[in-house]
Structure 1
Amino acid sequence: MTSDNRTPEAQGQVSDAVKGNWVDHLAPAWARPYLRLSRADRPIGTWLLLIPCWWGLTLAMLQDGQYRWFDLWIFFACALGAWLMRGAGCTWNDITDREFDARVERTRSRPIPSGQVSAKQAAVWMALQALLAFAILLTFNRNAILLGILSLLPVAVYPFAKRFTWWPQVFLGIAFNWGALLAWTAHSGTLAPPALILYAAGIAWTLFYDTIYAHQDTEDDALIGVKSTARLFGEDTPRWLKRFFVTTVTLLGFAVIAAMVGFNESPLALLVAIFGVVAMGWHMIWQMRLLELDNPGRLLMLFRANRDTGLIPLLFFAAALFL
């Protein structure tokens, strides 16, 4: 029998959690397993779910030039909803993947395979988070509510994608960037072509960052038969990342142009927004230059760096609102 020399606060922590995170050290002991299910100790996923929402909101505002007090609520509601739905989605993922997670080094410390919570307890926690998110969704207009309900389909399917396709990252992109459509509609009332182009850009971006992330698990995934773009591309991954980078930047640029040309009368605002897209591209190039496929620590660092990748154009979009 081995002894556990970790501090009480650290016991039960997940292997790839952010070091010194508040869940392991500040949250009540009874709440830690549930917060770990929600990935509260790994906030990068919430950011990656939230940023497309804010892209959609700011581009919709840039198109019609109308800034209402309700837009401030959409901004904060997206943040709350992203935290809750990311938590619900991750809990669902852990329920469906509990047998796989127990066989992978990086994931066997998660709450269900490590025995911190049961699958039934996790299901109750998932339902609670989803209901709270639904309550927030009900504050939006009818079309946004319908879009929010429809988003449950890709969320439900995603955990199973790696069982039947080499491209599960596409399904993740479909789910993770849905907020771009929802936030645009929450502001404008209806969808429009720029929102769809923005959505496609987000999916390409997800293929970029989640392929990097998936390279951490390629050996374990091969042993248990789990598919991913990382396994599919192998050593050819840098070439594919370049393709995803070009697609992301190109589509995001087209989304900005489609949203603003003929609608927004400020050439300077358009220039600033386009510069934000270019700056995002430079950040993605920086990631590719630092890429080391056999270095898990570097892969995790680059994956987490995509929070800044997405925030860069957002800051420029926000600045363009005032020009």
Structure 2
Amino acid sequence: MQGDTPTPDGQVSDSVSGNWVDSHAPRFARPYLRLSRADRPIGTWLLLIPCWWGLALAILAGGDPRPGDLWIATGCALGAWLMRGAGCTWNDITDREFDAQVARTRSRPLPSGQVTVTGAYIWMILQCLLSLAILLSFNRAAIAMGVLSLLPVAIYPFAKRFTWWPQVFLGFAFNWGALLAWTAHSGSLGWPAVFLYAAGIAWTLFYDTIYAHQDTEDDELIGIKSTARLFGQNTAQWLKYFLAATVALMGLAVIEAALPDAPLMALVLALAGPWAMGWHMAWQLRGLDIEDNAKLLQLFRVNRDTGLIPLVFFCAALLV
């Protein structure tokens, strides 16, 4: 399989072809940017999109867009890039011995020797401190939510050692932004944000099960658990359940946010978001082949578009 050994210039095997890190970043910075997955931007999108969902529904619920919302959206984008990088760095520190045994991951900076463990810890702390500076610009409730987010981030890398459902823990971490951004706008947590968070977790189970199928053979050899291994040939059926849960929970979040004060047309437009997202997920299922790693990676990456679809409808609803 391609990626069994590092390429001469240190590229990671599953990085995006022609990415800016390998093409334009200073050479001294490339190993650290690779450690943060800056050469694979899909993870930043998957962390950011629930933040923007939460902000959009908070504005819809309150009917009060404010100038500060632009900073919340921007701050979430910067924070998602930094915290995704910090989380990936932490993940690679804890998984460095496992990564060295998996074909797809042994070219990463730590197992391939591009970065030392000490250097990785320093890089992780730097990213966390920059993220903290952004978080401190939000209200107190959002700051508290941001601090709490560190708990699922810290636990996730160990989940695959003790449960067949590590994707749930990834969902806890990757969708926390829905709670944080809602709170940053509204000042307190609300049920729509909780339902949206649950919808995001179901979506994460969908896309990360697809992603995890790339490593099932290696994972079995080294004893790593995943929903991909758990579901096996029944994966498509389970993905249908996650699809249904994503659409239903997001629809419930929209209804809770829009009623009773939002205009009817705004409610209809916002509800079209999870409906359209569900169709995009169904399209992915039609192309699913759990034996084709290239197809699995392609389907995983298109989930950026999957997540942006409801956001378009939420924003349209705000214009009504």
TM over 0.5: yes
Residues 90-120 of structure 1: per-residue CA shift (max 9 Å, x gap)? 0000000000000000000000000001011
Q: Tell me which amino acid in the other structure corresponds to 2:153.
A: V
What secondary structure sits across from 1:66 in the alignment? coil
Q: Any unmatched runs of 5+ in structure 1? A: 1-5
What secondary structure sits across from 2:38 in the alignment? coil
CA–CA distance in structure 2, aligned partners of residues 209 and 292 of structure 1:
13
Q: Which runs of 4+ in 1 moved over 3 A?
A: none
* TM-score, with structure 1 as normaliser: 0.97
- Alpha-carbon offset, residue 277 of structure 1: 1.3
Residues 180-224 of structure 1: per-residue CA shift (max 9 Å, x gap)? 000000000000111000000000000000000000000000000
What secondary structure sits across from 1:200 in the alignment? helix
Matches within 5 A, 1:1-323: 11-264=9-262, 266-323=263-320
Residues 100-143 of structure 1: per-residue CA shift (max 9 Å, x gap)? 00000000000000000101100000000000000000000001
CA–CA distance in structure 1, aligned partners of residues 111 and 84 of structure 2:
20
CA–CA distance in structure 1, aligned partners of residues 286 and 123 of structure 2:
41
CA–CA distance in structure 2, aligned partners of residues 224 and 263 of structure 1:
54
What secondary structure sits across from 2:124 in the alignment? helix
Residues 243-296 of structure 1: per-residue CA shift (max 9 Å, x gap)? 0000000000010001001031x1111111111211101000000000000000
What secondary structure sits across from 1:154 in the alignment? helix
Q: Tell me which amino acid in the other structure corresponds to 2:179.
A: L
Q: Tell me which amino acid in the other structure corresponds to 1:239.
A: Q
Q: Any unmatched runs of 5+ in structure 2? A: 1-5
Query: What percent of counterpart residues are identical?
Result: 72
What secondary structure sits across from 1:63 in the alignment? helix
Q: Tell me which amino acid in the other structure corresponds to 1:52.
A: P
CA–CA distance in structure 1, aligned partners of residues 219 and 84 of structure 2:
23
CA–CA distance in structure 2, aligned partners of residues 168 and 310 of structure 1:
21
